[in-house]
Structure 1
Amino acid sequence: EGQTVTVSNLPTAKPSGDNFVRGIRLYRSVTSAGASEYFLLKTLWFPTATTKVKRASNVVTVTLAEPHNFIVGDKFKLSGTITDSGSMNGTFTVASVVDKYSFTYSDSGSDVSEVADANGTLFHDVSEDGVTPIYWGDSNNFNFTDSFNVRSLSVILPSEDYDVPPASMKGITQAHNNIFVGFFENQVCFSFPNKPHAWPEKFRITLDSKIVAIAAISGYILVLTDSYPYQISGNDPATMVAARIDTLYPCLSKRSVVNMGYGVVWASHGGLASYSAGGGIQLVSEFIHDWDTWNESLSPASIVGHYYNGKYFGSHSTASFIFERDEKVGGIFVQINYTFTAACNDYLTGNTYYIGDNLGNLYEWDNPTQPQASLEWKSKTIVLPDYMNLGAARVIADYDVSAEESANITNYNLTIPAYNNAVWAKSIQLGCINGPTDYTDTGNPINNVGTLNAFALNGDGQTRFQKAGSAQYAVTFKLFADKTLLFQGAVSSDAIFRLPTGYRSDTFEVSVSGSARVRAVHIGETPYGLRAS
């Protein structure tokens, strides 16, 4: 304090390239017994070019090429305009703000209609109090003299702690209060609220385990590690607190983590684990799989999870599954013979899309107008109190193929010749013994699937083939007694059909497979018994 310092070699124009920089803010460090802070001296706006001017009733309206950043009462200098022989040049005070590019000031003179004038330059006042204006950049004077009274400084530099995020940070998630969260190794990082570019080191939280994934739910942040999960709570990054959840459910796949609404779900050793602030932690798949069958039936570390119509849609290394939480029956688990590497929802249409191969091809899931995929369902083991002969059954299903589905198959088949001709025209090799070749379509690389010394029997790897159409679906029905297949047959209507006779058992299982939508399966001792029920 009491010293005068001149700062020179300041930038005179914004950096090259596309950016929004229009000036610089100059700060002074002020040290006290308790701390040291940077206080704002002045914002030095770069000189700005004019684009249009006009004068009416001794009021001049100026439009600039860049936002002026003025408020009423600000002082400025205008020079270089050529309209009305340069009579609008001089030093003035802002009278009103029209918009962020235009403002007015008082100046006596003849009326001038709005006219283009890109010759003028506007200079902002950077003096301490405005009594003796200093126009920064005027006459190429881009030096700044700091003689300000420290008692007039009140704005502290907010970005002193705006550290850049670590280069290895990943898993960026938006949490409550517009706070962004990320992690690296065992460190949780937080941004300032509403400032995703600012990640202060002082906000970081260190955990005991390596972090796999993070998720935000109901005002909390769930941190999943290779051992115990953690819950982080707090409304400000400066006051965040981490608490370990003392249940050993490590996250085996970061891509398995899905916020299902009722909780965050992820793949762990014993099944699908779930956590919510109100419900705690649990294995939501515990009534479907125990620890042994879960790891035998799939590879948890390869699971990619997705939210689909309130259900958990998971794909793993060999197949996929849909899990629906149902507290009455313990959950519904459906295995699917499709896999995907990524999926997304269209929030406008409600459709789900997935990538089902390594080539990045996009598919729509569960399109009701397309041919239905095949299903296979098997009941649980049914144990009856008495031995009996189940002699009749009925499968209620949607056997008829809709007209819309038949039309879609026909339309698809009609496009095949044009598609195949396009492939033949672009591909150098067609149906070669070593597999199809890749080619380029309007600058985009097309990668074909081919294997060395392999060839599709009665086909090739580059062309499409017709889809078979049918007026009706068929369902295969199986009956098991004492864990042994007793009957298998094709069913094409809702009519009752007979089952074998000459046996008695108290342990049964039934299964159905096919492409029809199965509504119900009825079994009984006699056809009359089924009709009576």
Structure 2
Amino acid sequence: MSIRISSFSGEIPRLLGRLLPNNHAQLAQNTKLENGGLVPIRRGRYVQRLEEPARTIYQFNDRWLSWPLRVDAQPAPIAANRLYYTGDGAPKIMVGTDVYDLALPAPTGALTIAIEGSETPDPDLEATILYTYTWVTEFDEESEPAPASNELLWSAGLNVSVSGFALPPINRRFNRMRIYRSQTSALGATAFYFIKEMPVQTAPWVDVVDDNTIQEQLPSLEYNVPPEDLTGLVSMPNGMMAGFVGKRLYFCEPWRPHAWPEKYILTTDFEIVGLGVFGSALAVMTTGQPYIVAGTAPDSMTMERLEVNLPCVSAQGIVDLGYTIAYPSPDGLVVVSTSGANLMTRELLSRDDWQRLNPFSFVAGSFAGRYLCSYGFTDSSGIEQRGILIVDLTGAQPFLIRAGDDADGMFTDPKTGALYLLRGGQDIYEWDALAMPFGEQVWRSKKFVLPAPTNYGCILIEGEDTATPEQRETARIRTEAAKARNRELIDTDATGGAINAMPIGRVTFAGSLLTPIEEGQPSFSATVYADGKAVATVYKLNEPVRLPSGFLAGMWEVEIRGNQMVTAISVVGSPSELQQ
């Protein structure tokens, strides 16, 4: 019975090593597993160091923003140079590099109106009118209206003197005001209508009524400012945004992110932890059951509670995977979609194994359609353990990959799909960057348990060099730069390599200031285990290698290490069997 692996997959920790499918792994670390072969993940590309430690990063107009706490940021649905975010105090709007509170102050004093001059209204034609006004910013944001003015009896042909205007605050870039006059319909309904826009001022103004005919109805009558503790901001189709406070779910006026009418509020049964958008629906993750909220306008949103007890335990663990939203629960990774909420890691990890990863600590992102989460926990010896878990849900059989990395924050660029990690609170790296060299991957096969002990006599590992042109060019540039730096140090006798030439700790013992040259040599090894003991290590690709004889074993495993692509493994009794 030979062993043949020609399509590689990841871990299913819930199963015993001997029960795994033939192409799955007991250990899959730092390997991509995207094309059926074993290809290592590239090293991270250093991008930038932040001035201050942070937990949230966001790239806005090619500039990195950061905050020391969890912040939810969304680009504006109406302008390319605006960013809206919550979590850093009151909700904010960023325009270019300027930051303002999102809430718009409104005039608090009512206008005073009177008939201009000494004329009086015609008793047969008189009607009662009122006035109000709003402030408008440079960004076309309109405030709520001022309280209605005093009532005034008026008839056609009379002009109205309007006074009591106030100047708006200077820190929100108000530059004009809009004046509204009331009109009552034949059915007795009274509404305000736009009549005039002018620069902000305090001077009285005369409404020449014949020149200022009514136009559109006052749009901001039922606008409300966003709550100061609004958080969890997400963007939805049709110009909507959503956020939450406690159990209350808020929606903004379509295409008006500064207005959050309270009439749109929906209330859940549990405290909301975070939000996610898939299609035209909103996933609402809570401390209890999740919800799906759907609709095309904020006044028609319907809320459905999903009858599964799968609370969300980490807001930073919520990730948009396209038409699904993934989040960590105490029992495993949950995916919310149009079909409901499903525990996707039920067949991958037991609840105990999942709990050992401390899902409460998850910081997550997405890359190539996969869920990546950084986790941290303290083991039984009191040692802090950190790592990254990659969950692939794209195929018929989900699997896991582990990576020797960690992150305090993640950001997936929606334009390029690139994933950025925040390491050590200050350093930003691009994950698996195209031009970076491959790291070392480790992949250990299942335990192949034979019906009777045997001795395999030959192994063939098939593979190829998978370095990209971008990697080769980057390596060449870095090598030439290192050689140039080293030549300058050598020519000036400033290598610091002589005894006592450098302070203790500046260079390693017997070292120097010279930069090591990265040769970029391929590395590869395959270790064969028989009944749990290493019996041979192979360093050659695409060449049959004989295995030691003189023993029998009933359980065989193969472990691959290195930075080369492996496409197949064959373990057979003799070289002649490879031809078959």
TM-score band by shorter chain is 0.5 to 0.7
Among candidates 280, 301, 312, match of residue 251 of structure 1: 312
Q: Does 1:381 align with 2:447?
A: yes
Mapping of 1:91-490 within 5 angstroms? 142-144=204-206, 155-277=216-338, 279-296=339-356, 298-317=357-376, 318-328=386-396, 330-346=397-413, 351-359=418-426, 361-398=427-464, 403-404=472-473, 406-411=475-480, 413-414=482-483, 458=509, 465-475=515-525, 477-482=526-531, 484-490=532-538
Take 1:241 and 1:464, find their aligned partners in 2: how far apart are those partners?
Answer: 66
Q: Secondary structure at the match of 1:287?
A: coil
Preserved CA contact (<8 Å) 1:326 1:332: no
Aligned-residue offset at 1:168: 0.6
Preserved CA contact (<8 Å) 2:195 2:215: no
Partner amino acid, structure 1, of 2:543? A
Alpha-carbon distance change, 18 to 314 in structure 1, aligned in 2, over 3 angstroms: closer
Aligned-residue offset at 1:6: 3.9
CA deviation vs aligned residue, 1:409-441 (integer Å, no higher than 9, x gap): 413524766999xxx9xxxxx9988x9xxxxxx
CA deviation vs aligned residue, 1:257-314 (integer Å, no higher than 9, x gap): 112124111122222211110x332222333222222222x22122222221222222
Preserved CA contact (<8 Å) 2:175 2:199: no
Partner amino acid, structure 1, of 2:350? D
Aligned-residue offset at 1:391: 2.4
CA deviation vs aligned residue, 1:55-106 (integer Å, no higher than 9, x gap): xxxxxxxxxxxxxxxxxxxxxxxxxxxxxxxxxxxxxxxxxxxxxxxxxxxx
Aligned-residue offset at 1:183: 0.7
Q: Secondary structure at the match of 1:238?
A: helix
Take 1:397 and 1:284, find their aligned partners in 2: how far apart are those partners?
Answer: 33
Worse-matched range after superposition: 206-215 or 20-29: 20-29
Preserved CA contact (<8 Å) 1:313 1:323: yes
Preserved CA contact (<8 Å) 2:178 2:194: no
Take 1:265 and 1:400, find their aligned partners in 2: how far apart are those partners?
Answer: 32
Worse-matched range after superposition: 490-499 or 333-342: 490-499
Q: Does 1:509 align with 2:557?
A: yes
Per the alignment, residue 9 of structure 1 pairs with 164
Partner amino acid, structure 2, of 1:142? P
Q: Does 1:532 align with 2:579?
A: yes
* TM value normalised by structure 2: 0.61
Alpha-carbon distance change, 351 to 147 in structure 1, aligned in 2, over 3 angstroms: closer
Aligned-residue offset at 1:507: 2.9
CA deviation vs aligned residue, 1:104-162 (integer Å, no higher than 9, x gap): xxxxxxxxxxxxxxxxxxxxxxxxxxxxxxxxx9xx973336989xxx86743221211
Alpha-carbon distance change, 262 to 200 in structure 1, aligned in 2, over 3 angstroms: closer
List alignment gaps of at least 5 residues for structure 2. 1-126, 129-152, 155-159, 377-385, 495-500
Preserved CA contact (<8 Å) 1:473 1:492: no
Take 2:502 and 2:400, find their aligned partners in 1: how far apart are those partners?
Answer: 41
Take 1:252 and 1:264, find their aligned partners in 2: how far apart are those partners?
Answer: 14
Q: Secondary structure at the match of 2:570?
A: strand
Take 1:233 and 1:497, find their aligned partners in 2: how far apart are those partners?
Answer: 61
Preserved CA contact (<8 Å) 2:275 2:282: yes
Q: Secondary structure at the match of 2:175?
A: coil
Partner amino acid, structure 2, of 1:471? Q
Preserved CA contact (<8 Å) 1:249 1:268: yes
Take 1:517 and 1:246, find their aligned partners in 2: how far apart are those partners?
Answer: 45
Per the alignment, residue 60 of structure 2 pairs with none
Alpha-carbon distance change, 46 to 227 in structure 1, aligned in 2, over 3 angstroms: closer
Take 2:180 and 2:257, find their aligned partners in 1: how far apart are those partners?
Answer: 23
Partner amino acid, structure 2, of 1:323? V
Take 1:283 and 1:417, find their aligned partners in 2: how far apart are those partners?
Answer: 55
- Count matched residues: 402
Preserved CA contact (<8 Å) 1:9 1:143: no
Preserved CA contact (<8 Å) 2:182 2:191: yes
Which is higher, the Rg of structure 1 or of structure 2? 1
Partner amino acid, structure 2, of 1:341? D
Aligned-residue offset at 1:197: 0.8
Alpha-carbon distance change, 300 to 478 in structure 1, aligned in 2, over 3 angstroms: same
Aligned-residue offset at 1:238: 1.7
List alignment gaps of at least 5 residues for structure 1. 48-136, 425-429, 436-454
Preserved CA contact (<8 Å) 2:294 2:302: yes
Alpha-carbon distance change, 188 to 347 in structure 1, aligned in 2, over 3 angstroms: closer
Alpha-carbon distance change, 391 to 165 in structure 1, aligned in 2, over 3 angstroms: same
Among candidates 39, 62, 67, match of residue 192 of structure 2: 39
Per the alignment, residue 20 of structure 2 pairs with none
Alpha-carbon distance change, 231 to 381 in structure 1, aligned in 2, over 3 angstroms: same
Identity %, equivalent residues: 24
Preserved CA contact (<8 Å) 1:353 1:365: yes
Partner amino acid, structure 2, of 1:381? K
CA deviation vs aligned residue, 1:475-512 (integer Å, no higher than 9, x gap): 2x223334x12324241332111223233344332211
Preserved CA contact (<8 Å) 1:230 1:242: yes
